A and B are shown apart, each in its own frame.
Chain A
Amino acid sequence: MKNASFLSVVVAIVRKDFQAELRSRELLGSMGLFALLSILIFSFALELDRIARTEAISGVLWVTVVFASIIGLNRSMALERDNGNLDALLIAPIQRTAIYVGKLVGNFLFTLAIGLLLLPIMTVLYNVSLFNLWLIAILVMGTLGFTTLGTLLAAMTMQVRAREALLPIVMMPVVLPLLLSGVRASTGILNAAPQDDWLQWTSIVAVLDVIYLVMCFLLFEYVVEE
């Protein structure tokens, strides 16, 4: 029997996650509802102060996307935990890092979909256009960073009893440099600041993406071992 290639395993896992999500809509439904409620609450809270609202918009966007992604990561890993499916994946003669990449791609695409969905809604609610290619590029890079880290941490916490509460506690301190850099870069873009001012923050997001990707890729096999 020949072994499945890395890419074919990744594609199979992503396809399976999308098929399951199309049926249940559990993941996108809960992430989307949370994100919508979150930006609505921020919008009402900041309604009286127009300047504060404009200043806070990138922070609201990033915090909403990060917390929505945590909900998604917990649900995504629940899919592998509930029926013992992770064992079925681990017992297959495949590279374990392919399991990680497969789950990462799914989590990234689901979170990115929510992030992109927020842009038009926030444009209407906050009366500031968020349709900026640089902003979208940073959103994509940032989403890749925290879903990379979140997928690994969700795999670590999935066997723990208080996993839903534990994931944000474990994830937030590690993801903070990425979050801060993303917020600074987005604020600079939205305030039409000189490119040099926000480009360095964009570079930090890119460097953190690479560090997280390499680190998580190498660590996943050890995380799921026992």
Chain B
Amino acid sequence: MPLIETHALTKAYGWQPVLKKLDLSIERGEFVALLGPNGSGKSTLLRLIAGLSKPTAGTIRVGGWELPREAAAVRAQIGLVSHKPLLYDNLTAYENLLFFCRLYALDDHNGRIKRGLERVGLTKRSADLVRTYSRGMLQRLSIARALLHEPDVLLMDEPYTGLDVDAATTLDGLMREAHADGHTILMTTHELERAATLASRAVILSRGVISYDAAMTADIAACYVKVTEAASAK
């Protein structure tokens, strides 16, 4: 059974359809890069799978649980990393992670936080306020937060936005580790070359429909141009 499955998933804002009868299934352990031009519905799809938005029609199942009926069970299996850090500026890294430990009713707070900070290389800065962090450090801490409850699924919405080369390379490493640890990753990005080196599968969304869905290839950039141009011409 696929870990994530959407069937005839439709989302519209008013009369404007954003996703049109989308069928997508993602197996456990896959690393899927969700590509597409701005406005193609990538972030909307991620928000729907995260349970942050309700579909207009169609179904979404995550780990066998159906949204929105079993939203709490689905949310427990999902970690979200966005281009926004989803962290509190006036708390330290430790306090931020402790707050999320409490929200998720996790045991062994100290152990989990320690391991999380070690994983992203922020142990020495754990007592510093998050507002003193660089963009790259924020994104690393954001990953520690998202993995705190060991979710099956890691949703990443444009995680490379605003990162410099070093920070982006560090993030690459963290994502590879998370994938190697068995997390299923669904990532939206505009960085095609980066996606080609990380993901095992590429899905290209164009105008709310899947225009391409296949194993990741090195020439994904050429593929992307061809697919999006064909979709625009329709």
Contact = CB atoms under 8 A, between A and B. Distances in A.
A8 B86 contact: no
Given A23-B129, A24-B90, A85-B88, A92 B106 contact: no
7 contacts: A9-B103, A20-B90, A89-B103, A90-B51, A91-B51, A91-B75, A94-B103
Interface stretch (B77-85, B169-177, B195-203, B225-233): B77-85
Interface stretch (A61-69, A76-84, A103-111, A175-183): A76-84
Contact of B91 (A16, A84, A89, A94): A16
A90 B52 contact: yes
Contact of B86 (A16, A19, A88, A94): A88
Enumerate the 7 nearest inter-chain pairs by beta-carbon distance, A residue then B residue, closest first.
A84-B84, A4-B105, A88-B86, A12-B102, A20-B90, A93-B76, A23-B90
In this complex, which of B53, B88, B104, B149 has the most chain A Cβ atoms within 10 angstroms of its Cβ? B88
Given A16-B91, A23-B90, A4 B82 contact: no
Contact of A16 (B54, B76, B88, B105): B88
B73 A88 contact: no
Contacts of B90: 19-21, 23-24
Contact of A83 (B50, B52, B78, B87): B87
Interface residues of B, number: 31
Interface residues of A, number: 31
Which applies to chain A's interface (DSSP): helix, strand, loop or mixed? helix
B103 to A, nearest CB: 4
B180 interface: no
B99 interface: yes
A91 B100 CA distance: 11
A168 to B, nearest CB: 25
Given A1-B149, A83-B88, A92-B100, A226 B54 contact: yes
Nearest to A224: B52
A59 to B, nearest CB: 35
A49 interface: no
B72 interface: yes
B23 interface: no
A20 B54 contact: no
B105 A87 contact: no
A20 B88 contact: yes
A196 interface: no
Nearest to A92: B103
B60 to A, nearest CB: 14
Contacts of B51: 90-91
Nearest to A16: B99
B145 interface: yes
B104 A93 contact: yes
Contacts of B30: none
Interface string A155-175: 000000000000000000000
A12 B103 contact: yes
Given A83-B87, A94-B72, A94-B103, 5 more contacts: A21-B90, A89-B103, A91-B75, A92-B103, A93-B76
A21 B54 CA distance: 33
Contacts of A79: 88
A225 B47 CA distance: 11
Nearest to B74: A93
A11 B90 CA distance: 18
A2 B78 CA distance: 15
A5 B91 CA distance: 23
B88 A4 contact: no
Interface string B102-129: 1111100000000000000000000001
Given A23-B90, A225-B54, A88 B145 contact: yes
